[in-house]
Copies of this chain bind each other. A is one copy, B any other.
């Protein structure tokens, strides 16, 4: 047997094995890069409800505005992926974060089929402080007033609108508004949050009456300081009472 014939036989066996293995492996579904999580992160500052938007820097999406998001890794749950995004983009941990909808139309991403599980978060923006991410794929991140949200990439405008619908609805039975306020707040501050989320003016007397009637607020023995006259009282949310009220709403 010639030298080349021997090599050819050995080579054939080797190659057949590789190809078979490679084909078999290709048939196994891979989780990576199919599912993303996008976060609508709301922040409240100076009476204005804002949302965190990023400008992308990665080819071919340079200059696109979008909601912050990442691929879900194989080793992490979707909830963990959402917490990771929130941490990277705001530096915060253990923040109120809730899944609200999964977007899965066929052509929502221009490159290939990707579905996204969307979350919203509510954070308190400390005045003058907006935490920004550091990632080569992101040019900048800004807090944008919700009335000024520009054209976003992909289906992110739809995701944003849906998140607004959901928080408006859930404001009635979840303590969402209080996530946007400091621990102690005045009734005026609370009203400003409701007005910002609902995007409408509310009657002051009516609002106060209803809020106090619910019995979900604890009055603190403390008043606003540095105010010339009629200092407003501070309140705190009574979570236990809020939750029991929320349970009652279920019954007719």
Contacts and interface: CB of A to CB of B under 8 A. Distances in A.
Interface of A: 2, 4-5, 7-8, 11-12, 15, 18-19, 22-23, 25-26, 28-35, 72, 74-79, 99, 101-102, 104-106, 112-113, 115, 117, 168-169, 172-173, 194, 198, 200, 202, 206-207, 210, 249-252
Contacts of A194: 252
A26 B25 contact: yes
Nearest to A206: B252
A23 B194 CA distance: 55
A31 B194 CA distance: 41
A8 to B, nearest CB: 5
Contacts of A18: 19
A249 B25 CA distance: 54
Top 6 closest pairs, chain A to chain B, by CB:
A78-B104, A4-B4, A29-B33, A31-B113, A102-B102, A4-B5
Q: Give the most central of A22, A78, A113: most B CB within 10 Å.
A: A113
Contacts of A202: 251-252
A172 to B, nearest CB: 7
Instruction: State the copy count for this chain.
Output: 2
Contacts of A32: 29
Given A4-B4, A8-B8, A250-B198, A104 B35 contact: yes
A163 to B, nearest CB: 15
Nearest to A101: B99
Contacts of A8: 4, 7-8, 11
Contacts of A250: 168-169, 172, 198
A9 B18 CA distance: 18
Contacts of A33: 29
A29 B29 CA distance: 9
Contacts of A206: 252
A245 to B, nearest CB: 14
Given A4-B4, A252-B206, A29 B104 contact: no
26 contacts: A2-B2, A4-B4, A11-B11, A11-B12, A15-B19, A18-B19, A19-B19, A26-B26, A28-B112, A29-B33, A29-B34, A30-B30, A30-B34, A31-B34, A31-B112, A31-B113, A35-B35, A72-B104, A78-B102, A78-B115, A79-B105, A99-B101, A169-B250, A172-B250, A202-B251, A210-B252
